[in-house]
Amino acid sequence: MGIDMRISLDTNVWIFGIVGDDEFCQRILDHLSQFKVIVPDQVRRELNRNLSEKLMKRFYQFTEQPNVQLNYDDVPDIYITMFESKGLKKGDAIIGGFAEWKKIDTIVSDNRDFLRGLSAGHSFDVMSPQEFCEKFNL
């Protein structure tokens, strides 16, 4: 637990936390300093498509924390294909593939496809924001 744990937040967690629509997502963003947060470029691109310029500035403020890292590496196709074969759409397969490739410990997501479809056969846990907050007493 703590800073040694590598987590990745799915796009919806960032959006709901930044916009203030979900108390658990907000709690996670308020406690990012407790974890090593890796943000795949796919998530950054999805946020850019869905948030206003003002809210994107807020996102980038979170990424200025020393333990939050934006990662622009292209995910190797083999990882993307692995997650597409599990039924994930392209964007979700990229995020899942990224987590597998970069040895992420936990993806926090409200995405039903992640929560339902990734029950086994990968190296990371998938938790809802509420489960994550409860597990780490946030």
Q: Where are the alpha helices (DSSP H) in 20-89?
A: 23-30, 41-50, 53-63, 77-84
What does DSSP assign to residue 10?
Answer: -
pLDDT value of position 3: 60
- Give the CATH number, domain containing residue 64: 3.40.50.1010
pLDDT value of position 111: 73
Looking at every residue in the chain, the average pLDDT score rounds to 89
> Is position 111 within any domain?
yes
- Say if residue 127's pLDDT is above 60: yes
> Is position 47 within any domain?
yes
pLDDT value of position 88: 83
State the pairing for strand pair 36-40/106-108: unpaired
Q: What is the spatial distance between Cα 82 and Cα 23, in angstroms, rounded to a whole number? A: 33
Average pLDDT on 92-99 reads 91
Q: What is the spatial distance between Cα 125 and Cα 10, in angstroms, rounded to a whole number? A: 13
Q: What is the spatial distance between Cα 29 and Cα 81, in angstroms, rounded to a whole number? A: 30
Q: What is the spatial distance between Cα 31 and Cα 46, in angstroms, rounded to a whole number? A: 22
Q: Where are the alpha helices (DSSP H) in 11-137?
A: 11-19, 23-30, 41-50, 53-63, 77-84, 90-101, 112-117, 129-135
pLDDT in tens, 36-95: 999 999 999 999 999 999 999 999 999 999 999 999 999 999 999 988 888 888 888 899
What percent of the chain is predicted at pLDDT more than 70?
Answer: 91
Confidence category of residue 117, pLDDT binned at 50, 70, 90: low
Question: Domain range for residue 106?
Answer: 6-135
Query: 36 in helix, strand or coil?
Result: strand
pLDDT value of position 113: 58
- As for how many domains the chain has, the answer is 1
**45 φ/ψ angles, rounded to the nearest 5 degrees:** -65, -40
> Is position 1 within any domain?
no
What percent of the chain is predicted at pLDDT more than 90?
Answer: 72
Confidence category of residue 121, pLDDT binned at 50, 70, 90: low
Q: Could you tell me the strand order of the sheet in which 36-40 lies?
A: 68-71, 36-40, 6-9, 106-108, 125-127
